[in-house]
C-alpha cells in the first residue's frame, strides 16, 4: 500500500518525520516529498505550502506521480464550535470552499458547476480513525470543515461561516485535497488539531499553540497508519 500524508506547513509534518525517522527526499513541482518504507508499504509525506491551490497540487502529485492509494491530511485548524478547545482533535466528515462565490449567476455560495458544495470524506478511513481514538482513549470530534484562502481572525467572519455553511472548523487547504481525491476516486480523510478559536485573538494563539497542536495530530496519524497496515 502507498499512503500519502500532507500538512500545509513544515511545522505540521516535522513531528511525523521525527516519528518515522528515516526517509528519502524527492523534489517534484518545487516541493519536497519524503519517501518512507514502513511495514512493507510506502509512505509519502509532504508539506504543501499554505492554501487550496498548493494543497491540491500536492495531493495530485502524490496520487498521479507517486501512486498513493489513500491520502491523509494532518494539521491544525481554527475551531468554530463552542465545545472545540485548543488541542482537540477533529476529523472532517465533509468539506466545503467558503471563498467560492458565483452567486451572481444564481448559484449558492460554495458551489461550482459540475461539482458540489460539500465533499464527503471517506467513511472507511473515518471508521478507522474512530477505532484508533477508542483504542488510545483519545477524544475525537467530528464536523464540517470550511476551507478558503484566508486566515480567519474575526468573530464576524466566524459567525458567517457557521451560519452559511454549518462549519465547525476553518482552515486553508482541506477542501482542495478533498476536490482532488473526490475526482480521482482516492479515499481521503482530514485530521485537524484545534490550534485557535478563530476569533479576534487567532493571530496570537495560533503561533502559541501550532507546535503542540501539530504533534497531537501527527501522533494520531501515526497510530492510524499502523492500524491501516495491520
Rg over CA atoms, the chain: 16
Spatial distance between the Cα atoms of 138 and 161, rounded to a whole number of angstroms: 27
Those residues with Cβ within 8 angstroms of residue 204's Cβ, 6 or more apart along the chain or in another chain: none
* Residue 169 contacts residue 143 (beta carbons within 8 Å): yes
Spatial distance between the Cα atoms of 127 and 133, rounded to a whole number of angstroms: 10
Spatial distance between the Cα atoms of 179 and 197, rounded to a whole number of angstroms: 26
Q: Is 12 an annotated catalytic residue?
A: yes
Catalytic residue among 122, 173, 182, 196: 196
Q: Is 11 an annotated catalytic residue?
A: no
Catalytic residue among 12, 88, 168, 171: 12
The residues annotated as belonging to the active site are 12, 196
Amino acid at each position: 500500500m502507498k499512503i500519502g500524508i500532507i500538512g500545509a506547513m513544515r511545522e505540521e509534518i516535522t513531528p511525523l518525520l521525527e516519528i518515522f525517522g528515516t526517509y528519502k527526499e524527492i523534489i517534484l513541482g518545487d516541493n519536497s516529498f519524503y519517501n518512507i518504507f514502513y511495514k512493507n508499504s510506502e509512505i509519502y509525506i509532504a508539506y504543501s505550502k499554505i492554501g487550496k491551490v498548493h494543497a491540491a497540487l500536492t495531493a495530485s502529485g502524490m496520487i498521479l506521480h507517486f501512486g498513493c492509494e489513500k491520502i491523509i491530511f494532518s494539521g491544525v485548524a481554527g475551531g468554530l464550535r463552542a465545545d472545540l478547545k485548543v488541542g482537540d482533535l477533529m476529523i472532517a466528515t465533509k468539506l466545503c470552499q467558503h471563498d467560492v462565490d458565483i452567486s451572481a449567476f444564481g448559484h449558492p455560495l460554495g458551489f461550482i458547476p459540475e461539482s458540489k458544495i460539500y465533499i464527503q470524506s471517506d467513511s472507511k478511513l473515518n471508521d478507522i480513525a474512530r477505532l484508533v481514538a477508542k483504542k488510545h482513549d483519545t477524544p475525537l470530534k467530528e464536523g464540517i470543515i470550511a476551507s478558503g484562502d484566508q486566515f480567519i481572525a474575526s468573530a464576524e467572519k466566524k459567525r458567517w461561516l457557521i451560519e452559511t455553511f454549518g462549519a465547525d472548523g476553518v482552515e486553508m487547504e482541506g477542501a482542495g485535497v478533498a476536490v482532488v481525491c473526490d475526482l480521482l476516486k482516492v479515499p481521503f480523510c482530514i485530521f485537524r488539531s484545534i490550534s485557535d478559536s478563530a476569533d479576534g485573538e487567532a493571530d496570537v494563539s495560533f503561533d502559541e499553540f501550532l507546535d503542540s497542536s501539530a504533534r497531537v495530530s501527527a501522533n494520531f496519524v501515526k497510530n492510524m497508519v499502523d492500524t491501516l497496515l495491520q
